[in-house]
Amino acid sequence: MQKNTELKVELLQHNAEPEMIAALAAKLCYSGAELSDLQEKVSNAEQTDFIQKLIGMGHFSVFEHVSFSFGIEGVSRALTHQLVRHRLASYSQKSQRYVKAGAEFPYIIPHTIKDNSEALEIFNNAMKEIAECYNKLSALDIPAEDARYVLPNACETKIIVTMNARELLHFFALRSCNRAQWEIRELSDKMLALCYAVAPAIFEKAGPGCVNKGCTEGKFTCGQAALVRKRIAALKKH
């Protein structure tokens, strides 16, 4: 049985000039000029300064014109259950109703289990038993949409996600935080690095609250703000 898979995130599509469209939308709000004139006036240097000013003012609505689509593989159903709670997004996920798990299904192993030999043996045995159960149900002509009820949260899945930049800023604030569950935090960090490479002005301050201000977790703070800032800064250097 394939026991583990690697997280893979690919930026499939985004606006051709994400920072230009955001700056143009903002300029339009405060100008009586024609669109053609505004486009000529929005230079690259002006875009950066203007976008930073917009972020400082909290004028995030213009970033909704900027969208990013990601192809995501090697994640668990436990992760996607969390991911789809971010409702201002579009999702298309590999179906367990129409795609059979097969004799052997790939699954995600948490680090705490992977690093504990006894726990790992228990976990792998459980996955093997579940696979056998699934296959026995399939052999009895139980449809995949019903046999899938025995499959675990650990099952590997694939999903395409589209979010606008405003929602991504919100997503990174929550999911790149140390308090986020480890798997979705790893996904968030990879997505943040990809977004920053395309639109650094928009995502310059992206990340959990402690990156720019203070921790927003109150008494639940991880107490590791310096380490979080270092991790997020490293993402933006690649």
Active site residues: 175
Angle between helices 18-29 and 44-57 (to 10 degrees): 60
User: C-alpha distances in angstroms, 41 versus 29, 38, 64?
Assistant: 15, 5, 21
Q: Are 65 and 22 in contact (CB under 8 A)?
A: yes
Give me the amino acid identity at 187. L
**In whole angstroms, what is the distance from residue 161 CA to residue 13 CA?**
10
**In whole angstroms, what is the distance from residue 236 CA to residue 233 CA?**
5
**In whole angstroms, what is the distance from residue 92 CA to residue 102 CA?**
21
